[in-house]
């Protein structure tokens, strides 16, 4: 069991829940269990480039990392706000 | 009966409401906080609100509300097929299907793609024929990306659908989206000096079908204002007879009078503000033969921009005309453009306005 923690927009999209307890072996499996998976991953299954994932406060780039023995996965929106978007 | 304007902004959706006088307005919202609402509409068939929504981190999707904005549902994973080698980048415009198909909706966006829903917006299927269009390699993205921003039904023919893509041009389907034929004859692409009238590649900024005379189409293009009286087969360029510029983005019509249309020109592609340092709407009464400037109630010291979805019209008599500026003001004319009131100000950057009945 690992806990997935979501930022506020994702929590609203998940029906007001920002914390999910999931059974998963890897980070990818855990993120695929929550009801906003389509906002984290594109249609190819690639993590969106500005979605950052921390496993027990360490950023993980390898989504196949095992979560056994870990406490929490935290989803963070990268610092990219303020860019002019045409 | 009341009237509402759904105002899509870079920071969510606002709903401004009034009675039929359309003089005094109340602002509600924001809904969909955190989402860029490129376009929102109320489906006249069942009253559901639909929004084309984007987030700079979490991608492009669509939302709907069946309780006038109290709660919202996000569409299930919208995506393009792997064999297309494309990914869905931006949701631009959501349009109700024909009245005879109450569960059908269309969603257009970047990269030059279109989705169709057959279940009221729960799920969306990509329109394969557009992804595989034989002219696709000749399409080029404008500043907003390769965006399918205009989707129009022919109210007299459920099989006939029009779309416009910047910069690919106008396309018409006579078989419900199975095939698409370019409809750009007579429309200039001045940015291609070696061939300014190609089959495709035109930069349409907005396309509308007249609801009472569906063979008449209007378009505001990067290179002029145009009208077609033959379902898009041929187009006539209309400016040079009162318009200060052929460049602009939004377009509005009078739902009862096919000869009346409204545009908001900008100085030009290289300086995208309203000309002469004021906000003015130009109206034609004679199908584009001449244009008159409307300024009563609009700011006369202003360098405004109104985006392609930033203009709308209602179905009341006299018709109301609506515009929203990038600087966050909504202006309403309850009398076909003769006079204007500022219905809201200091909203976030306005991406779209859409008038609808509200009760």
Whose CA is closest to B308, among B228, B188, B222, B231? B222
Residue A58, burial from CB neighbour count under 10 angstroms (0-12, 13-18, 19+) = exposed
Instruction: With beta carbons less than 8 A apart as the criterion, state whether A53 and A24 touch.
Output: no
3-state secondary structure B238-278: CCCCCCCCCCEEEEEECCCCCCCEEEEECCECCECCCHHHC
Residue B143 is predicted with a pLDDT of 80
* pLDDT given for residue A82 in this prediction: 54
Task: Count each helix (H run) and each strand (E run) in chain A, helices first.
Answer: 3, 5
**Nearest-CA neighbor of B202 among B235, B169, B227, B234?**
B169
The tokens for A82 are 């303020």
Question: Could you give the ipTM of this predicted complex?
Answer: 0.93
Q: A48-63 pLDDT, tens per residue?
A: 999 999 999 999 999 9
In chain A the domains, ranked by start, together with CATH numbers, are 2-77 (3.10.20.30)
Enter the tokens of residue B202: 């035109």
pLDDT averaged over every residue in chain B: 96
- The mean pLDDT value for B290-303 works out to 97
Q: Enumerate the H helices of chain B as residue ranges.
A: 128-131
Instruction: Classify residue A11 as exposed, middle or buried by CB count within 10 Å of its CB (0-12, 13-18, 19+).
Output: middle
pTM above 0.90, yes or no: yes
Smallest CA–CA distance, residue A85 to chain B, in Å, is 8
- Of residues B256, B213, B219, the one with CA closest to residue B234: B219
DSSP three-state, residue B306: coil
Task: Supply the pLDDT for residue A70.
Answer: 81
Q: A67: distance to nearest CA of chain B, Å?
A: 24
Tell me if B80 and A48 make a contact (CB, 8 A cut-off): no
Minimum distance, in Å, between the CA of residue B77 and any CA atom of chain A: 6
Q: What percentage of chain B exceeds 70 in pLDDT?
A: 100
A/B interface, count of CB pairs below 8 Å: 54
Spelled out in words, what is the top-level CATH class assigned to the domain B2-358? mainly beta
* A42 inside 8 A of chain B by CB: yes
- Interface probe with A: pick from B57, B80, B149, most Cβ of A within 10 Å: B57
d(CA B121, CA B100): 16
Give contacts of A39 with chain B, Cβ < 8 Å: 55, 58-59, 61
Mean pLDDT of B98-117: 96
pLDDT at A86: 45
Mean pLDDT of B195-217: 97
């Amino acid at each position: 069991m690992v806990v997935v923690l979501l930022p506020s927009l994702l929590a609203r999209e998940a029906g007001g829940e920002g914390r999910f307890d999931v059974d998963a072996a890897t980070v990818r499996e855990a993120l695929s269990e929550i009801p906003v998976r389509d906002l984290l991953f594109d249609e190819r299954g690639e993590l969106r480039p500005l979605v950052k994932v921390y496993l027990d406060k360490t950023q993980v780039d390898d989504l196949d990392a095992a979560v056994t023995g870990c406490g929490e996965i935290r989803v963070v929106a990268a610092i990219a706000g303020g860019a002019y978007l045409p | 009966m009341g009237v509402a304007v759904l105002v899509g902004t870079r920071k969510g959706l606002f709903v401004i409401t009034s009675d039929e006088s359309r003089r005094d307005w109340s602002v509600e919202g924001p809904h969909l906080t955190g989402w860029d609402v490129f376009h929102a509409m109320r489906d006249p068939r069942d009253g559901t609100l639909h929004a084309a929504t984007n987030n700079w981190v979490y991608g492009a999707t669509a939302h709907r509300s069946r309780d006038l904005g109290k709660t919202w549902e996000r569409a299930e994973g919208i995506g393009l097929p792997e064999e297309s080698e494309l990914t869905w980048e931006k949701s631009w415009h959501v349009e109700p299907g024909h009245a005879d198909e109450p569960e059908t909706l269309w969603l257009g966006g970047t990269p030059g793609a279109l989705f169709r829903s057959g279940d009221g917006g729960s799920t969306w299927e990509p329109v394969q024929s557009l992804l595989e269009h034989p002219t696709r390699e000749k399409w080029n993205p404008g500043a907003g990306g390769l965006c399918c921003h205009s989707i129009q039904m022919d109210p007299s023919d459920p099989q006939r659908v029009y779309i416009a893509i910047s910069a690919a041009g106008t396309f018409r389907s006579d078989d419900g989206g199975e095939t698409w034929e370019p409809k750009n004859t007579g429309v200039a692409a001045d940015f291609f000096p070696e061939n300014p009238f190609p089959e495709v590649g035109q930069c349409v900024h907005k396309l509308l079908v007249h609801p009472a005379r569906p063979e008449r189409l209007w378009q505001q293009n990067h290179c002029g204002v145009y009208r077609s009286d033959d379902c898009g087969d041929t187009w006539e360029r209309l400016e040079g007879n009162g318009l200060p510029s052929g460049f602009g983005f939004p377009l509005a019509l009078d739902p009862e009078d096919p000869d009346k249309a409204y545009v908001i020109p900008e100085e030009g592609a290289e300086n995208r503000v309203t000309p002469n340092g004021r906000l003015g709407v130009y109206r034609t009464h004679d199908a584009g033969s001449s244009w008159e400037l409307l300024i009563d109630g609009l700011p006369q010291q202003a360098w405004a921009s109104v985006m392609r979805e930033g203009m709308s019209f209602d179905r009341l008599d006299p018709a109301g005309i609506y515009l929203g500026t990038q600087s966050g003001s909504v202006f309403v004319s309850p009398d076909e453009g003769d006079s204007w009131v500022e219905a809201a100000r200091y909203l976030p950057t306005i991406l779209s306005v859409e008038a609808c009945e509200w009760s």
